[in-house]
Amino acid sequence: MRPWLRHIMLLLWMLLGICSCRVMAQSQSSPIILSSDRTILYPSRMELQGDESILDLLLSYPELLVKGFDQLLDNYQLRMENVPMSCNLRIFLSTTPARVVEKIQICHNPGVAKGTTGLGGVIDLTMQRGNDPNNALQPITLPSPTTMLSNNNPATDATPKAEGRLGFETSTKGYMLPYAAVYYGSESTDVIVNASLNTLNANRQHTTDQYADIFITHRFDHRNRLLVYLRQSYAEQLGSNNLWNRSYLARARYFHTFNDRGTELLMLAGYRFDDATFRSHPRDNVVTNGTQLYLLELNTPLASGLNMMLGWEADLSHRRYSLRQTMVSTDRPFAANDDYTIINNDFYLELNYSIGPLKLSMGDRLSAYYYQYLTPQGSASSRPLRNFAQAALIYTPNNQHQLMAAYYRRFVNPYYLYTALNRYPQTDGIGWTQGNPLLHEQLADIVRIAYTFSKRHYSFNASSQYLNTYGVVSTVVTPSYLTWTNDPTPHQEWQLDASTAYRSRRWSLVAGGHLCYLASGSYGYFRLAPKILLPHQWQFDAQAIYCTTLAPERQIDNTPLYALLQVRKSIGDRLQLSIQCHDPFNDQRRAAVADIQYRF
C-alpha cells in the first residue's frame, strides 16, 4: 500500500476506535444498512406511502441519477438477482413497485463479490420472497396498496397471487412506448415478466427498442431452489448510421443449503449472444460475441461472528469483427476480420467478522485474464493477472446510525481493440488505427467514508470518496496512425455526497447533492424531488437537477437545469393516468408525455 494511503487508513481506524466505546447490536429492522462495498435498502422496513416505485427510492442517491428522464443510473449497471438487465430503465424503475423488492443493493465499488472491472457501480435487485427476518424462503407476496397502507407488512398466506400492469406512453417528440409487467407468486414458484417496445420517428429518424425479461424462481424445498433468467433485446436505428443490435441471454442459478447454520452452495451456468450490424454506405460492419459463464460459490459461517464467501468464476468469450471499408482516396474497398478469444478465471475470498458494534470485512479476487486475437501480422495474445482487494470497518452503535471506512483496489482493462498490433493496414498514405500491445491495466486506489442515519420515515446519507488512478489510457496522434498509450500521471478525484429523504402519509421530499473535485475543474449536481398525495387519488410529482458550469452533462448543451413535472390521477384501484413535462429548459429534449396504465 502506498505511504499516503497507509496514513489515511491509520487515521480512519483511530477515529473509529475512539467511537467504539458504545456497544449495541444492530437491529434487523434498519431500513438502510452499510456493507463492505454497498448500501442496502429494505423497502418493507420503510414508511412507504403505498405504491412507491423503485425509482422513488433511488432518488435519495444523487450520484446515481444525474441526467434525468431517459438517461438514468449514470455509470451504474442495473441487475436483477445479480443478472444484468437490458430493459428500458426509466419504464422499469418508475413502474415496478418497491414492495415486490426485498432489497436494493447499491454497490458503489463492486469487485470482490461481483467481479466488475472498470470504475462503475452496480444496482442489484433481490425480489421479494417473504418477510421472514432470517430471509427464509416463503411465497412471493403481492399485497394491494391499501394493505401496504394499513400495516406495511405483506400477507403471509400461501395462496397464489398475481399482479400485472399494462401501460402505453406517447410523447410530443414522436415516440410510442407500450409496456407490460406481470408478477406471480405461489408456494413454490415466482415469475416476473417485463417487456417494452419503444418506437421513435422524429426528425426523419426511425428508432425501435424492444426488451423482454423473464425471471423464474422455483423452490423444491426449504433447502433447494432454482433461479432461471431469460433476456432478449433488439435495437434498430435507421438514419445516417444504420444499426441493428440483438442480444440474448439465458442463465440458471441453483442454491443448496446444507444446514440450519446457513451454509449454502451456489452453482451457475449461463450463455449470452450479441449481434450488432452497422450499415452506412459504403460500409458494412458486423460484430458478434458469444460468452459462456460458470460459477461456484460457497457461503458459510466458520465460527461465532465469522462468515466466509469462497468462489470461482469463469467465462469464455469469442468476439468477431467483420469490417468492410472503402478507401477515401481510391474508392477501393477492403475487408478486415478481427477475432478475439477472451478467457477469465477468477478466484475470490471474503471474510466478515462481527464483534459487538464492529464488523470487519476483508476480501480479495484474483483474475487470470487471457485474450487472443488475429491481426494482419498473425496471431497475438496476452496473459495479464489482475487483482481486486477491499477492506472495510463498519461501526453500528444502534439500529439507526452506521459509520464505515473502507479501502478498495480496482482496475480497468484496456479495450481489446486498443491492443491490436495493426487493425487496419496503412495503404495509399491513408492513416489507420494502430493498437498498442504494450498497454497495461488502469489501476485505482479508492478510500471511502460513509455515514447513514435511517428510520422508517426518514433517512440521511453522507459519503466521501477519494480516487487515485494510475495508467489511464490516452490518445496519441501521429502522422500515419492513431494509437494509445498509458498516461503515467496519476489522476486524482474526490467525491462528496449527501442526501436526505422524508416521507409522510400525504407528502414526501428528497434532496441531495453530489460534488466532484478534479485538478482540471470541479463540478456538482443538486437534486430536489417533492411528491404530494392529494384528495380523490390525485398525485403531484416534481424533480429538479441543477448542474454547475463544468458538469459533463452541462458541457454538451449548456443546459444548467433539468426539471420534470408530473400529475397522476388514479381511477379506482386499477387505472392510472399521468401527464408529465420534462426538460422544459432544453430546446432539443423538451417534451410532454402522456401515460395510461392498467393494473390487473
pLDDT in the model for residue 188: 86
pLDDT in the model for residue 282: 46
pLDDT in the model for residue 239: 61
Give one word for 108, left, alpha or beta, with left for phi > 0 and alpha for psi -120 to 50: alpha
- pLDDT of 177 > 80? The answer is yes
Q: Are 504 and 531 in contact (CB under 8 A)?
A: no
Mean pLDDT, residues 558-575: 90
State the pairing for strand pair 76-80/121-127: parallel
Minimum mean pLDDT range among 43-52, 382-391, 418-427, 565-574: 418-427
334-372 pLDDT, tens digit per residue, is 455 677 788 889 999 999 999 999 999 999 999 888 877
**Cα(120)–Cα(78) distance, integer angstroms:** 11
- pLDDT of 328 > 50? The answer is no
109-127 pLDDT, tens digit per residue, is 988 988 888 888 999 999 8
Residue 98's pLDDT band, with cuts at 50, 70 and 90, is confident
pLDDT in the model for residue 297: 96
Give all strands (DSSP E) within 134-282, no chain letters: 161-171, 175-185, 189-202, 205-221, 224-238, 242-257, 264-280
**Cα(166)–Cα(177) distance, integer angstroms:** 11
Mean pLDDT, residues 161-187: 86
- pLDDT of 316 > 80? The answer is yes
**Cα(72)–Cα(93) distance, integer angstroms:** 10
Residue 249's pLDDT band, with cuts at 50, 70 and 90, is very high
Best-predicted range by mean pLDDT (1-15, 37-51, 178-192, 451-465) = 451-465
Mean per-residue pLDDT over the chain, rounded: 81
In this structure, what C-alpha cell is assigned to residue 224? 433447494
Mean pLDDT, residues 306-330: 77
Residue 202's pLDDT band, with cuts at 50, 70 and 90, is low
Minimum mean pLDDT range among 115-124, 137-146, 155-164, 245-254: 137-146
**Cα(438)–Cα(435) distance, integer angstroms:** 9
Looking at per-residue confidence, does 75 or 564 come out higher?
A: 564
Tally the residues of the chain. 600
pLDDT in the model for residue 517: 93
Q: Are 270 and 281 in contact (CB under 8 A)?
A: no
179-200 pLDDT, tens digit per residue, is 999 988 888 888 999 999 888 7
- pLDDT of 20 > 80? The answer is no
